[in-house]
């Protein structure tokens, strides 16, 4: 049954926004205020599609160009929640409705993801976190 559940996720494509740790490190009070007052995601500078494959995660930009490939064997840790670089105050709901999904790679780089559901209405980071946690275990 676990194998069938995994197969249901393979080749799944979802809308995603993402940013890197070095981009978050450059944020300032002006960016934080802009996020809170306008509701746009100035810190999540990249927008596109996420594809889950047998080997990992692929991120594509708006024009369907591949931006990032994250093989499972390069993932050091995954984390669902806020941290010093992405505090709760950066979300309109102050962390009550969703949390960013952080992937830390073995080279130390970090990618923060906001993954949407099938109709692009709800953020589904918790479901993706649980799936990735079980896959990487």
- Cβ-contact 111, 68 below 8 angstroms: yes
Q: Taking the C-alpha atoms of 71, 76, 82 and 86 in order, what is their torsion angle to the nearest 10 degrees?
A: -70
Residue 6 has pLDDT above 80, yes or no: no
Name the least confident of 2-6, 24-28, 112-116: 2-6
Name the least confident of 8-12, 85-89, 93-97: 93-97
DSSP structure class, residue 110:
E
Domains and CATH numbers, the chain: 2-136 (2.30.29.30)
Phi and psi of 37, rounded to 5°? -90, -30
Q: Which residues contact 19 (CB under 8 A, 6 or more apart)?
A: 43, 44, 45, 46, 111, 112
pLDDT (tens digit per residue) in 114-130: 898 776 667 889 999 99
Average pLDDT, the chain: 83
């Amino acid at each position: 049954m676990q194998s069938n559940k995994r197969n249901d996720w393979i080749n799944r494509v979802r809308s995603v926004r993402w940013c890197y740790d070095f981009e978050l490190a450059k944020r300032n009070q002006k960016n934080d205020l802009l996020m809170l007052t306008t509701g746009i995601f100035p810190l999540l500078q990249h927008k596109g599609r996420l594809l889950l494959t047998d080997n990992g995660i692929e991120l594509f930009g708006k024009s369907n160009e591949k931006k990032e490939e994250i093989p499972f064997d390069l993932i050091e840790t995954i984390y669902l929640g806020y941290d010093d670089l992405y505090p709760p105050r950066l979300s309109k709901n102050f962390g009550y409705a969703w949390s960013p999904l952080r992937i830390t790679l073995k080279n130390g780089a970090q990618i923060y993801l906001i993954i949407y559901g099938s109709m692009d209405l709800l953020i589904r980071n918790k479901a993706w976190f649980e799936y990735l946690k079980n896959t990487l275990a």
